[in-house]
Structure 1
Amino acid sequence: MRQFRPALQLPRSIPDFLAAFPFHIIVDEQLVIQESGDGLQVLDCGRLNGRKLPDCFESISPVEEFCLASLLNMRGQACLLRHKVSGLLLGGKVALHQEDCVAFLLVPWIEDTADVSKLRIGPRISRRAGSRISNSSVVNMRKLTVQKKQLFQAHALLSMRETESRTLTHIVSMTDNSVVIANALGYVEWVNDAYVRRSGYLPEEVIGRYLGDLMDGDEETVAQIKRQLDAKQSFQAELLRTAKDGSGYWVDLDIEPLFDSNGQVFNYIAVARDITEKKAAQETSSRLHGIMQSTFELSPDGFVTFNKKGILSSFNPAFLNMTGLKPEQLHAISQDEFVRLLKSLCQDEQRAASQHLPDAVVMRMTKPKLTVIKHSVREAHDPDGYFVGSIHYFRDITQESELHRMKGEFLSMAAHELRTPMSSIHGFTELLLKREFTAEQQKDMLATVHRQSVRLTKLINDLLDLAKIEARKGMSFDIKPYRLTDIVDTALKEFLVSGDGRAISFHFNNHALKVSADFDKLIQALVNVLSNAHKYSDPGTEIRLHIQEQQRYQHTYVGIAIEDHGIGMSKEHMDHLFERFYRADTSGSIPGTGLGLCLVKEIMEIHGGWVDVSSVYGEGSVVTLWLKKLKD
């Protein structure tokens, strides 16, 4: 009925204005019909004037009973009246006629063409009544003919719009999206079944509520919705709603104003799409992305990714630390450029890939430092199996490679060191079994066998000690506070038992000085150092033991220094000092296994200390064992 927009007050300057509405009614303040249009007179045989409005018409809209106040409030609003005699439905609006009169400007309102055949036309007009309207009967009949044509045209248009309306209503009812329709003031008039199913609220629980309050937003969101509605503008947002049962769900909300032909808002329509699963998936994806990003950033291994076009898209800090490359060198480069950049970091590009594994390449880089890197490439695919890029994985295996090299050298040297005494023992025992020797010769040969067996036993014991220390990393150490003088005195007594009686000078007066140590292991380290000083210095030369102190890492450390005046060591010897089986004397004239200082180094590191060695070739050496000093 929005197509009816009569003036709120009838113009007095146009006396024929009401003639355009043959179904008009004018009532006074008592609701008595003062005048009615020609069309109504024909339908009612001219018996309307002088009767009260409620006696002749039934109010369909609005539903409240007629009174002058309600009619005045209805000015400019649509109304529907049913003529009681004929049953014809009349639609129109209310206008002010005079100060104490109200006019209904009406036209026939046909809901169904079948209703036309049911209209009850009154009996023929009486002669008296006929004389009153005889002058206009012909004109009225012509008007009725025109109105009948207009009526059927309006009905056809109405039927078409009703069909469209039913189709749209069916579509809106069947959609899974929640649909809410509000009036021009933003108050809910209608909700679809999807809204009821998702929210749990019945239509009667939400109709009449303000649209902004219905969205369960915070105060700022509700205020923003109100501002948008007042400004006749649309509103879009993702909101967390609460259902009637207390469960929460996310919606993507769109509120759009609907305008009539005059540009006035007559309704708002709100469509809410349920995006709870989408939000959950986004949250899961975001959480996994965060975990993967943290793993990517914190990983000690290098990662470089390329998109499906082969352009570098990301890299982690470990890769930069590993290769010394700068981010600007990697910006948006292709895979081919990336491979050439890696090869440039190798000393010999032809030998960049020095070892090919089944699924990787081992690269020996010399820039920024000598590094051995295992490089592998994997293709990345999405859940549908489509290629999305490639991942280059880099692992620093420098330490593993070095350990592998040292393991090979150790086995080779261990086999050599073990074979030498075993060969002597085997050869001399075989001679003793197969040939006759004098008693003096037998004694000399047995002494050699005994000496080699002692060497072999010591070598095996040193290997076992070294293996235990490395395997347990101090777990078998029993570290307790001891006076340093007690440890040194015990080590000197143990060493001199098997020595040649050479004096070792030791002068120290601070008997209260204490360190934390495993008593037996520290004595073993001291005896090894004293033994080296004894073996590599000439008889009669002095071996001196003294105590030092120094500040380091905000702690006081005590050093047990053993100084000899033996053969000393060159710089080349110093570089290999702590390697297993390495010996400064290569002639073989000085007994030893080459494991002594390795054991000393491991023992001191487990004690939280270290070993310092200084030497001058041909003049002697000083070996200092450093331990943390205990506070008094």
Structure 2
Amino acid sequence: MKGLRGRLLLVTIVLVFAAFVTASTRLTRATELSSISLTGWAFSEFVRQAALTDVLAADGRNGQDLSDSIAILQSKARVVSNDYFVDRLDADSAAALQRALKATNALTVQQATSSRGSTTLDAILNDAQVAYAGAVDALSAQRVLLLRDLRLVEVTLGVLALLLLLATSMVFRQFRSDARRAVQLQEDRAREAESSASRLHDLYEATASAEPDFARRLERVLQIGKSAFGATTGMYARSEDGALVAVSVTGDEGPVPDLLGWAAAHAQDGTATRRERYLAVPVMSDGVPCGALAYARPAGHGTFQPGDEAFLGLMAQWVGQHLEQQRAEWLLRESEARSQSIIRSSLDAIITCDDAGRITEFNPAAEAIFRVSREVAVGRTIGDLIVPPHLKDAHEHGMTRLRATGMGRILGQRLEIAAQRLDGTMFPVELSIVELPTSPAMFAGFVRDITDRTAAERRLQERTQQLDSVFRVSPDGFVMFGSDHLAVDVNPAFLDMTGLARDWLIGATEAQVTEALQRLSATGQPFPRSFTHGTFDTLHLSRPTPRVLKRSVRLLHEGDGQDSGYVMYFRDVTHETEVSDMKTEFLSTAAHELRTPMASIYGFAELLHTRQLDPEMSAEMIEIIYRQADRLVNLLNELLDLARIEARAGKDFRMLEQPITPLVQRTVEAFTPPSEAGRVHLQLPQDLPHVAMDGEKMQQALGNLISNAFKYSPDGGPVTVSAHNDGRHVVISVQDRGIGMKSEQVARAFERFYRADASGNIPGTGLGLTLVKEIIERHGGQVQLDSLHGIGTRATITLPTHTTAPQGTP
């Protein structure tokens, strides 16, 4: 298994390397394609200039305008002649391009204004268009190759992901198998220890019974052995005249003759012996074999183990003890000594006392538990030594009742109570008290320190309470299902996410819960009909509020490894989804906005670098480069301004109380294009109050609105900037008669990177209005848009006033 995992890992590494090499090669080709993307621009410029020259000639212009146009056309013809795709054109397009270039280079003002000039220019224009179409086809072919390469990369990475998933699954399954075996081994050991302790306890209770009839007690002991060994037959045989005679038998008597003969042959020498089906232990009295205990198992039930032999030895020891009790006094004392030995070796504290409560025996386990020596304990009363103060009265009443009636409420029961050490320390114990068959009456208490067990139970309870608290307050939703696939619990977060009723959910099937979620899902969004444990899917809910939830399932296991149900886990990923969509939209918009000016800068810079152009054309190209660079700078500044304002939360604002009218006038003058000054209508009263503001940031916000008014009014029309005081606020409006927006566009206008015009014809990043909103709200104001599609837009800024001082008041 390990070798397979190693080979799989090696294959995965090789495929990763291959995938990176493939992706690098294909992306290099993509870079090459992007470097020649100006092909379309060069050919289109050649076509446009040919059309412009044809129009000038047709208008009868034979002066400097026509001469300049022909010179530009010839310059663009030279650019096209050196283009990357000239050698990749098909035959017809290449021939058309050569004809157009030849005719263009020979074209003069006199030829263009002659009677055949229109025909010549039309031929140039037609050939240029044919060449442009061929260049576009060649570029499209290259893009098809790139798309095929990228799809190959996708397939390669998909296969790699499957291999990684397979490797991860194999490792996880091996880990789970190892963990299960370890848990099983631990459980087997625990069961073995528990079984051993249980049968020792049962044997102890049977041997410590006050039953005076030895035969009945022996029968009970044999039955305990039969149950402990899983045997069919148990037997006690006594040695008489060198032979074994069955005295007491429990279970099936069929195997008794074989068992008796085997025990006589192997256990008469005083040693225990065992084989696959039989186990025999001699019963010793005064060191001499006087009988045997033997058991037989059915075929195929397993062999007897050393632990079984040891346990049977304890049983035989008890039998031998009782046999010795029937002998003389000295045998009785020896038996008592042996009993004391057992008591003193007990893991539980054993305390004996008389009917007055005075301690007569205090074994080593009691010394360890109560931290009192036997010499100090013997002779003192239990009430003085180990009973806590709050239980002393109840203890005294119980002892009085026991002496008077011979009956006690706690005799023969197992109780969990508090005990006290000599130093006053309180701790929990498990107590069992029995009356000994003596005269006068004696009592024995079996005490077990359960401090560790109680602490473990308390920790388990606390842990359960903590997990329940986490379940209740978790922001993630949980629905717990039992092994019957019915919902048994649900946390408040899930109820808040879905608006479903808890009473309905409890007892619902997984299919019913899924159906309820489908009814809440957004229209048009795919909804998973099946769901596999160990995976996750995504749900788009439209009710009670729009949410995106990621759903997964975690299996629950009992201590024996059996499945006890599962938890359906719901995580609200609405914010992450919105951020991801915002990022995607931003990358698309920013890439487009950055690419357009960069293409112009790169193209014209390349022309200036590689061509000797006349001063006028060079100046024109430099001007274009300057404008596009300025556009890039403005774009980056908007991004940086927004990031800085959000990060600093307005802490960089310099808020000064100042008049609003001069700021509005300066902003209008700064952001009105020189050629558009006649379109601006300024309506400002002279009694506007002062406003606490950061003048630079306010001018930036207002300037964005004025720029938008001109930018989104491509067909002209007035731009009105007005202001008024409503008593508590200064209201500034910027009104245009441009393309306007629809209601759904107005609702999203202030979202980051959102642009109502997605055509790309109007420059912008979708950050302008976001920046305006951020600045105005940092001033404690509001900004609002009112717009009608095709009619125009009014942007309104509302700022709180802090004084009523008129303009010009110091």
Bucket of the pairwise TM-score, normalised by the shorter protein: 0.5 to 0.7
Query: Which residue does the alignment assign to 1:133?
Result: none
1:352 is displaced (CA, Å) by: 1.9
Answer yes or no: is 1:603 the counterpart of 2:778: no
1:321 is displaced (CA, Å) by: 2.0
Cα distance in 1, alignment partners of residues 344 and 519 from structure 2? 68
Cα distance in 1, alignment partners of residues 365 and 804 from structure 2? 79
Q: Does the CA contact (< 8 Å) of 1:312 and 1:335 recur in 2? A: yes
2:575 partner SS = helix
- AA aligned to 1:319 is F
Query: Which residue does the alignment assign to 2:340?
Result: 169
Query: Which residue does the alignment assign to 1:253?
Result: 431
1:351 partner SS = coil
Answer yes or no: is 1:578 the counterpart of 2:753: no
1:439 is displaced (CA, Å) by: 7.2
Cα distance in 2, alignment partners of residues 331 and 456 from structure 1? 59
Q: Does the CA contact (< 8 Å) of 1:373 and 1:398 recur in 2? A: yes
1:198 is displaced (CA, Å) by: 1.8
Check 1:355–1:623 CA distance in 2 against 1; reply closer, same or farther (3 A cut).
farther
1:367 is displaced (CA, Å) by: 4.4
Cα distance in 1, alignment partners of residues 641 and 533 from structure 2? 36
Map 1:73-84 → 2, pairs under 5 A: none
Answer yes or no: is 1:497 the counterpart of 2:497: no
Cα distance in 2, alignment partners of residues 428 and 317 from structure 1? 63
Map 1:148-167 → 2, pairs under 5 A: 166=337
Answer yes or no: is 1:545 the counterpart of 2:723: yes
Map 1:136-151 → 2, pairs under 5 A: none
1:436 is displaced (CA, Å) by: 9.1
1:542 partner SS = strand
Answer yes or no: is 1:274 the counterpart of 2:444: no
Check 1:510–1:480 CA distance in 2 against 1; reply closer, same or farther (3 A cut).
same
Query: Which residue does the alignment assign to 1:143?
Result: none
Answer yes or no: is 1:292 the counterpart of 2:462: no
CA deviation vs aligned residue, 1:326-378 (integer Å, no higher than 9, x gap): 22233245556555555555468973269999942223344444432222223
Cα distance in 2, alignment partners of residues 350 and 570 from structure 1? 28
Cα distance in 2, alignment partners of residues 631 and 180 from structure 1? 95
More helix by share: 2
Cα distance in 2, alignment partners of residues 303 and 570 from structure 1? 41
2:500 partner SS = coil
Cα distance in 1, alignment partners of residues 343 and 801 from structure 2? 83
1:621 is displaced (CA, Å) by: 1.0
Query: Which residue does the alignment assign to 1:233?
Result: 408
1:544 is displaced (CA, Å) by: 0.6
Map 1:460-499 → 2, pairs under 5 A: 460-470=636-646, 472=647, 474=648, 477-479=651-653, 481-483=655-657, 485-486=658-659, 489-490=662-663, 492-499=665-672
Map 1:513-552 → 2, pairs under 5 A: 514=692, 520-533=696-709, 535=711, 541-547=719-725
2:475 partner SS = coil
Cα distance in 2, alignment partners of residues 418 and 290 from structure 1? 57
Cα distance in 1, alignment partners of residues 559 and 803 from structure 2? 63
Q: Does the CA contact (< 8 Å) of 1:252 and 1:273 recur in 2? A: yes
1:456 is displaced (CA, Å) by: 3.2
TM-score (ref. length: structure 1): 0.61
Query: Which residue does the alignment assign to 2:394?
Result: 224
Check 1:259–1:312 CA distance in 2 against 1; reply closer, same or farther (3 A cut).
farther
Q: Does the CA contact (< 8 Å) of 2:518 and 2:527 recur in 1? A: no
1:275 is displaced (CA, Å) by: 0.9
Check 1:216–1:597 CA distance in 2 against 1; reply closer, same or farther (3 A cut).
farther
1:564 is displaced (CA, Å) by: 2.0
1:218 is displaced (CA, Å) by: 4.3
Query: Which residue does the alignment assign to 2:684?
Result: 506
Q: Does the CA contact (< 8 Å) of 1:354 and 1:362 recur in 2? A: no
Check 1:357–1:191 CA distance in 2 against 1; reply closer, same or farther (3 A cut).
closer
1:574 is displaced (CA, Å) by: 0.5
Query: Which residue does the alignment assign to 1:404?
Result: 580
Answer yes or no: is 1:199 the counterpart of 2:373: no
Unaligned runs of 5+ in 1: 1-153, 551-557
- AA aligned to 2:723 is L
Check 1:334–1:425 CA distance in 2 against 1; reply closer, same or farther (3 A cut).
same
2:441 partner SS = strand
More strand by share: 1
1:297 partner SS = helix
Cα distance in 1, alignment partners of residues 526 and 718 from structure 2? 59
Query: Which residue does the alignment assign to 1:614?
Result: 786
CA deviation vs aligned residue, 1:211-244 (integer Å, no higher than 9, x gap): 344334342x333333444444334653454544
Check 1:348–1:250 CA distance in 2 against 1; reply closer, same or farther (3 A cut).
farther
CA deviation vs aligned residue, 1:27-63 (integer Å, no higher than 9, x gap): xxxxxxxxxxxxxxxxxxxxxxxxxxxxxxxxxxxxx
1:392 partner SS = strand
Check 1:348–1:410 CA distance in 2 against 1; reply closer, same or farther (3 A cut).
closer
Report % sequence identity: 32
Cα distance in 1, alignment partners of residues 627 and 723 from structure 2? 29
Aligned-residue CA RMSD in angstroms?
A: 4.4
Cα distance in 1, alignment partners of residues 686 and 560 from structure 2? 79
Answer yes or no: is 1:421 the counterpart of 2:597: yes
- AA aligned to 2:592 is H
Answer yes or no: is 1:323 the counterpart of 2:498: yes
- AA aligned to 1:624 is I
Check 1:437–1:197 CA distance in 2 against 1; reply closer, same or farther (3 A cut).
closer
- AA aligned to 1:477 is K
Unaligned runs of 5+ in 2: 1-324, 402-406, 806-810
Q: Does the CA contact (< 8 Å) of 2:351 and 2:361 recur in 1? A: yes
Counterpart among 552, 555, 572 of residue 376 in structure 1: 552
CA deviation vs aligned residue, 1:436-481 (integer Å, no higher than 9, x gap): 98877776665555444433332232233334445x2x25732454
Check 1:621–1:218 CA distance in 2 against 1; reply closer, same or farther (3 A cut).
farther
1:530 is displaced (CA, Å) by: 3.7
Q: Does the CA contact (< 8 Å) of 2:718 and 2:736 recur in 1? A: no
1:194 is displaced (CA, Å) by: 1.3
Check 1:488–1:260 CA distance in 2 against 1; reply closer, same or farther (3 A cut).
farther
Check 1:630–1:208 CA distance in 2 against 1; reply closer, same or farther (3 A cut).
farther
1:175 partner SS = coil
Check 1:566–1:587 CA distance in 2 against 1; reply closer, same or farther (3 A cut).
farther
- AA aligned to 1:524 is Q
Q: Does the CA contact (< 8 Å) of 1:601 and 1:611 recur in 2? A: yes
Query: Which residue does the alignment assign to 1:39?
Result: none
Cα distance in 2, alignment partners of residues 509 and 241 from structure 1? 89
- AA aligned to 2:348 is N
Cα distance in 2, alignment partners of residues 491 and 576 from structure 1? 27
Structure with higher RCO (Cα < 8 A, 6+ apart) = 1
CA deviation vs aligned residue, 1:88-117 (integer Å, no higher than 9, x gap): xxxxxxxxxxxxxxxxxxxxxxxxxxxxxx
Check 1:195–1:336 CA distance in 2 against 1; reply closer, same or farther (3 A cut).
farther
Deviating more after overlay: 613-622 vs 333-342: 333-342
Q: Does the CA contact (< 8 Å) of 2:781 and 2:797 recur in 1? A: no
Query: Which residue does the alignment assign to 1:61?
Result: none
TM-score (ref. length: structure 2): 0.49
Cα distance in 1, alignment partners of residues 581 and 350 from structure 2? 74
CA deviation vs aligned residue, 1:389-445 (integer Å, no higher than 9, x gap): 433322111222222222222212222223333444455666778899887777666
Check 1:388–1:367 CA distance in 2 against 1; reply closer, same or farther (3 A cut).
same
Answer yes or no: is 1:182 the counterpart of 2:353: yes
How many residues were matched structurally?
463
